[in-house]
Structure 1
Amino acid sequence: MTTTVIPPAVRPPAGPAHRDGNVLRWLGAYTASMIGDNVFYIALSWAAVRSGTPSQAGLVMAVSAVPRALLMLGGGVVADRFGPRRVVIGSDAVRCAAVLTVAALLFVARPGLWLLALLAVVFGIVDAVFMPAVGALPARVTGRDQLARVQGMRGLAVRFANVVGAPLGGLGVALGGSATAFALAGLLIAVSVPLLISVRMGETPSADDANTANTAPAGAEAVGPPGDPDGAPARGDVSGPHARVSGAEDGTAAVPERPATAWRDLRDGLRYIRGHRVLAPLIVTIALGDLGFVGPLNVGLALLADRRGWGASGMGLVVAAFGAGAGAAALLLAWRGTLPRAGSAGAAALLGGSVAIGALAQVPGVGAAVGVALAIGLLAGLSGALCGALLQTQSDPVYLGRVTAVAGIVSLGLAPLSMPLTAAAIGWWGTGPVFAGSAVVCGLGGVVALAVRDLRRAELPR
């Protein structure tokens, strides 16, 4: 019998990620790029407010989300076809050049909102390929047994960038206006390029490898492209001069294959996710968790603080407590490297976090709200880190860019839609019912994870 065996990715020698110079260089590049992003958005918002009305400034800030959401699936295909490091280096180079160009123009003139909107669109387009590639990079940098630890280290980098980036952006604006802040953002993003170039990357089989049949010994495990339980590669009619014919070596009838195309790669990736017994419910879990979490913790918290009389300082303490909890969860995973029964642990953390989200709207004082927010950050951060680590370790490297793209669309495309809905719902029904409804949605993600046996029993490699 002919089966399809996808060759394993060739990666650098396994070792503790936090002591691996290769991983640390990657982490330094990622951190510099994320800090640059935070500075960029501070500069963009300030420049937009100074150049137009508040509604126009809001439009400029939101315009980058459209191309990012529309093109991210294609960005996953690009990351898998050309390799994530090449895509990330190219993306950072384009972003750096675009930001520095705008900084130079702002130093000598005031071009207006059109330039800022154009820059936001460019960032959105580049992010559509950058984000899937960033998600696929860790599997090339270290071994599978270190991917969970790397996920925790990446979470710490994000928290650090959020804490440091905003003050740096504000400092740039204070020293020289938006032009100086844009220049600072461009230089920070530029730092990531030579660091990424110095990182050693392992090889991962191409998309063609996933569609080529190989003869395996009897009893070998069949690992095939999406949607085929027997592991047989997708086949079709002859298309073009480079179409392959496979399956004839073992005496079976020759079946012509279509050459790989971007559209076919995209369909194969979606079929792979849909047919995967862990990834499909995992992405549903991530979607429900984000939909129930983003609205209350971004828009709802400000409205809750206003109605409770906590003030801006009280809201800041609550946000800081959430960040501290999430950072602690990332630190735990970075230190331990793995947790037993990761699927069940992530589901339990998500359920606990959903209860805490509902409780946040019921506490009367700032002190209690800080404690609840700390619990939300710890539980939601742990659930998010474990889901991200499972996404990395359960995905075949051939499809990792496309898997990351689908998860990114859920988190960055669908979840933000809950923010205006949350604000409108609080205006109609108040904070208590809306936070409770969001908690139910978030909790459904944990229920899905516990209900699906393969996800519930999923483990991280040791």
Structure 2
Amino acid sequence: MTTSPSAPSSGAAPALDWRRIGSFATGQAAVQCGSFALLIAMSWTAVQLGGRHAVTIVILASTLPRALMLLFGGALADSLGPRAVLLRATATRLVVLVVGALVAASADSLWPLIAVAVVEGSLLGLTGPASGVLLTRLAPKEHLGRANSLFAMVMRLAPIAGSPLGAWLVVAGSLSHVMLVSAAGCAVWLLCAFYVTRGMARPERRSDANPSLFRRSGDGLLLLGAHPRLRWMFVACFCMDFAFLWPAEVALPLRAASEGWGIGSVAAALTAFSAGALAAAAAGAVLAHRIPVPVKLMVAGTGLAVCLGSMALVPSPALLAVAACAVGLFSGLNGPALVTAYQQAVPEGRLGAAMSTFSLSSIGAAPLSLAAFSSISAPLGVTGTWLLCAAVALFSPVAAALALRSPVTRKAPGAAEVSVAPEPTATAV
């Protein structure tokens, strides 16, 4: 795994380069906040222009290209390096948003939104894996968990700050104003990325590299097939995301309505979850390297599943909020640890492809969760289906335990395979 360029070569654990990590977090906070503001503003504008059908078109125009370009983004990050991908894609995104703001100011139709959504989603897909690669370059292995926890904090705060900002701007001003604010966030991230990636050389050309970018886009799936540790970590992440989406998006408001608790209980539960997740991520940014891996992966994963199930049984809105806060606490500890363990198990030179496939586990889990559990809820009911989701979440710590027992293979598929014994589970991620 590539470490920070400034890491010392002595036997002691290298320290984090907090200046670069701070710049990374600042840039990501700005660009993610702008992205969520733009998402809300585009959805609202689509409703005004064409109702529910228009919103569906705009969302699909953003999400489908993003999912597709994730695969190519990983291959590009491995071949060109994170610096080239991030700087070029972010600069292009900045130009697109500025041009989109000018067009949207004089247009009164849906097509500018669709065009911006397609390009925006494609560029986000390209830069997603590169950001994951960049984080491993900035943080040495001993402190990668802390960096991932800090990044998780940014991703938690971005919708909290960006969504109301986008809603206010689109009502008080127009979609063009929101696009310009999002462009400003891109500009901040571009400056931060330029500083953070300064001095990072382009990766050496792989001897086994496929000449076609299309063929290289499947490297992440090949890695899952060849490496048991990666495969089990992928399963652990997918099970958790798959089990969590339906209770949060569907079951929570349904239970609040059936119990007569009102929409305020839903808001309180979601707020409590966010507060718990933020608190755990903040603690992880300071202490993640001191917490043993089994605690973060198995104990926290089990606690998350148990608390998720308890939300289906608590008798009052207050206890529902307490259980949601506990879910957030365990999630803020478990989520970054899963990402870190996955990153550390990836063979050298293939992190971009691996992270692109890893991102698809979360993107693919959402629609599958909503479709599967919504159909099951008819015969089982809301409470029974919610408890089933909690049972599925218990497979995540089991898969994580199997991953830690699997050997780490340092070579990629196609090269001479060299496996090493499983890393001691007491080592902090």
**Normalising by structure 1, what TM-score?**
0.82
Structure 1 residue corresponding to 2:7, chosen from 10, 13, 16: 13
Distance 1:87 1:458, change over 3 A: farther
Q: Distance in 2 between matches of 1:173 and 1:161?
A: 18
Q: Hey, what does 1:251 align to over in structure 2?
A: none
Cα distance in 2, alignment partners of residues 430 and 40 from structure 1:
36
Alignment of 1:228-377 (within 5 A): 260-263=211-214, 265-343=216-294, 345-377=296-328
Q: Following superposition, which runs of at least 4 residues in structure 1 exceed 6 angstroms of deviation?
A: none
Superposed CA RMSD: 2.5
Tell me whether 1:67 sits opposite 2:62 in the alignment: no
Residue correspondence of structure 1 range 27-106 to structure 2 within 5 A: 27-106=25-104
Amino acid at match of 2:238: A
In the superposition, relative to structure 1, how do residues 314 and 93 fare at CA in structure 2: closer, same or farther (>3 Å)? same
Does residue 381 of structure 2 align to residue 430 of structure 1? Answer: yes
**CA shift for structure 1 position 375:** 0.8
Q: Quick one: distance in 2 between partners of 1:361 and 1:290? A: 18
Deviation at 1:438, TM superposition (A): 0.9
The answer for the alignment partner of 1:388 in structure 2 is: 339
**Could you tell me whether the CA contact under 8 Å between 2:2 and 2:137 is conserved in 1?**
no
Cα distance in 1 for residues equivalent to 2:210 and 2:360? 27
How many Å separate the matches in 2 of 1:149 and 1:399? Answer: 22
Report the alpha carbon displacement of residue 282 of structure 1 after superposing the two structures with TM. Answer: 0.6
Residue 366 of structure 2 corresponds to 415
The alpha-carbon deviation at position 305 of structure 1 amounts to 2.1
Q: CA deviation at 1:389?
A: 1.5
Paired residues of 1:95 and 1:123 also in contact (CA < 8 A): yes
Aligned mate of 1:108, from 106, 109, 113: 106
Deviation at 1:70, TM superposition (A): 2.6
Tell me which moved more, 400-409 or 65-74.
65-74
Q: How far 1:274 sits from its partner (Å)?
A: 2.7
SS at match of 1:362: coil
Percent identity of paired positions between Structure 1 and Structure 2: 27
- Whole-angstrom distance in 2 between the partners of 1:82 and 1:355: 43
Shift of 1:158: 1.2
C-alpha contact (below 8 Å) 1:32/1:192 kept by paired residues: yes
Equivalent position of 1:242 in the other structure: none
User: Does the residue aligned with 1:361 lie in a helix, a strand or coil?
Assistant: coil
Relative distance call for 1:358 and 1:47 in structure 2 (3 A) is: same
For the residue of structure 2 that corresponds to 1:208, the secondary structure is coil
DSSP 3-state at the match of 2:246: helix
CA distance in 2, matches of 1:271, 1:162: 34
Aligned to 1:121: 118
- SS at 1:396 equivalent: coil
* AA of the residue aligned to 1:12: S
Partners in 2 of 1:16 and 1:363 — Cα distance? 44
Alignment counterpart, residue 442 of structure 1, candidates 390, 393, 403: 393
What amino acid does structure 2 have at the position aligned with 1:102? G
CA positional deviation for 1:416? 3.2
Query: Would you say 1:166 and 2:163 are equivalent positions?
Result: yes
Q: Deviations over 1:366-398 (max 9, x none)?
A: 101000001111112211111011122232341
Superposed displacement of residue 343, structure 1: 4.3
Match of 2:196 in 1: 199
- Find the residue that maps to 2:174 and give its secondary structure: helix
Alpha-carbon spacing, 1:344–1:260, altered in 2? closer, same or farther (3 Å): farther
Q: Deviations over 1:409-451 (max 9, x none)?
A: 1111233331244344435532111111111111112122224
Stretch deviating more after TM superposition (421-430 or 61-70): 421-430
Distance change (3 Å), C-alpha of 1:334 and 1:8: closer
SS at match of 1:430: helix
In 2: Cα distance, 1:341 partner to 1:92 partner: 37
Residues 278/363 of structure 1: CA separation in 2 closer, same or farther (3 Å cut): same
Q: Which residue of 2 aligns with 1:243?
A: none
Instruction: Give the C-alpha shift of residue 326 in structure 1.
Output: 0.9
**2-side partners of 1:267 and 1:106: how far apart?**
37
Report the alpha carbon displacement of residue 41 of structure 1 after superposing the two structures with TM. 0.5
Are the counterparts in 2 of residues 205 and 398 from structure 1 also a CA contact under 8 Å? no
Partner of 2:179: 182
User: Given the superposition, is the C-alpha separation of residues 351 and 363 from structure 1 closer, same or farther in structure 2, using an over 3 Å criterion?
Assistant: same
CA distance in 2, matches of 1:43, 1:202: 37
> What residue in structure 1 maps to residue 418 of structure 2?
none
For residue 34 of structure 1, report the CA deviation from its aligned partner.
0.7
Distance 2:272 2:154 in 1: 17
User: Which residue does the alignment assign to 1:254?
Assistant: none
Unaligned 5+ segments in structure 2 are: 9-13, 407-421
Q: For 2:127, which of 130, 155, 159 is the aligned residue?
A: 130
Change (3 A) 1:173 1:346: same
Cα distance in 1 between the residues matched to 2:246 and 2:199:
39
Verify the 8 A CA contact 1:100 1:182 in the aligned structure 2.
yes
User: How far apart are the structure 1 equivalents of 2:46 and 2:36?
Assistant: 15
Bigger helix share? 2
Gapped runs of 5+ residues in structure 1? Answer: 1-6, 212-233, 235-257
> Separation in 2 of the partners of 1:451 and 1:146?
23
Aligned residue pair count: 408
Q: TM-score of the superposition, structure 2-length normalised?
A: 0.87
Deviations 1:191-210 (A, max 9, x none): 1111111124564783634x
Does 437-446 or 411-420 show the bigger shift?
Answer: 411-420
SS at match of 1:63: helix
How far residue 301 of structure 1 moved from its aligned partner, in angstroms, is: 1.8
